[in-house]
């Protein structure tokens, strides 16, 4: 499934708010996650509809969010970076919640939103010790993502999932998200800031 990616954005003279930027990235992430599921299934990994499908989409979008935050860390000032990442995690959580019926047969209202934020926070702890530069997340970052995906895979796929995720899924996502962020952010790296945990309101 091809995903159309916009790398140039026109907003006239008005500067886009962090929430508007986050909304663009969140919707791209949703499409990329679904395309990644399809590729994984075509590669004969068993990602069945229901919980396995849901878990893969959630982990993949969380990976996209943390990569986007690393780019924001380099390209936005501290205040805008914090606002962007907060809005991104919440918008992704809303996308998961809005499509809950597609992902899971029955969930209580708000459960999918809360679960995404929990995964986002837990993934952030796993990714925190690894680096990310102009080429994207380093080996450890990508391996940590693959290890998190591996947890939801059946035994027959656990050995092979690292290669697929690290060599195909992660690089494809980084390229797509990175091009979009280049179009949204522009500019040069300002002062850096620390990350923060997302909480459900």
Please report the DSSP string for 172-199 in residue order: HHHHHHHHHHHHHH-S------------
Contact 4, 152 (CB under 8 A): no
| Tens digit of each residue's pLDDT (9 = 90 or more) over 82-126 | 999 999 999 999 999 988 777 776 678 888 999 999 999 999 999
pLDDT at 198: 55
- How far apart (Å, rounded) are the C-alpha atoms in residues 78 and 40? 36
Mean pLDDT of 29-58: 94
- In this predicted model, which residue has the larger pLDDT, 190 or 21? 21
Share of the chain above pLDDT 90, in %: 72
Q: Which residues are 132's β-sheet partners? A: 137
Q: pTM score, two decimals?
A: 0.86
| Tens digit of each residue's pLDDT (9 = 90 or more) over 183-198 | 998 754 444 334 445 5
Above 60 in pLDDT, residue 200?
no
- In this predicted model, which residue has the larger pLDDT, 21 or 189? 21
Contact 89, 27 (CB under 8 A): no
pLDDT at 193: 39
pLDDT at 107: 73
| Tens digit of each residue's pLDDT (9 = 90 or more) over 138-172 | 999 999 999 999 999 999 999 999 999 999 999 99
140-148 LR contacts (CB < 8 Å, sep 24+):
142/166, 142/170, 145/59, 145/63, 145/170, 146/170, 148/59, 148/63, 148/123
DSSP annotation of 169 reads: I
């Amino acid at each position: 499934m091809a995903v159309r990616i916009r790398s140039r954005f026109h907003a006239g003279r008005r500067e886009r708010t962090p929430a508007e930027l986050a909304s663009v990235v969140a919707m791209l992430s949703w499409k990329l996650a679904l395309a990644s599921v399809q590729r994984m299934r075509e590669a004969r990994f068993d990602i069945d509809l229901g919980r396995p499908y849901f878990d893969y989409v959630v982990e993949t979008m969380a990976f996209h969010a943390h990569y986007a935050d690393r780019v924001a860390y380099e390209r936005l000032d501290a205040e805008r970076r914090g606002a962007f990442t907060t809005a991104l995690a919440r918008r992704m959580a809303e996308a998961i919640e809005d499509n809950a019926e597609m992902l899971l047969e029955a969930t209580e209202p708000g459960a999918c939103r809360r679960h995404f934020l929990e995964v986002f926070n837990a993934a952030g702890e796993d990714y925190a010790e690894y680096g990310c530069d102009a080429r994207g997340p380093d080996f450890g970052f990508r391996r940590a993502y693959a290890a998190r995906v591996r947890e939801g895979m059946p035994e027959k796929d656990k050995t092979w999932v690292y290669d697929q995720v690290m060599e195909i899924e992660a690089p494809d996502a980084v390229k797509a998200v990175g091009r979009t962020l280049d179009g949204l952010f522009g500019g040069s790296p300002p002062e850096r800031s620390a990350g923060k945990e997302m909480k459900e309101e």
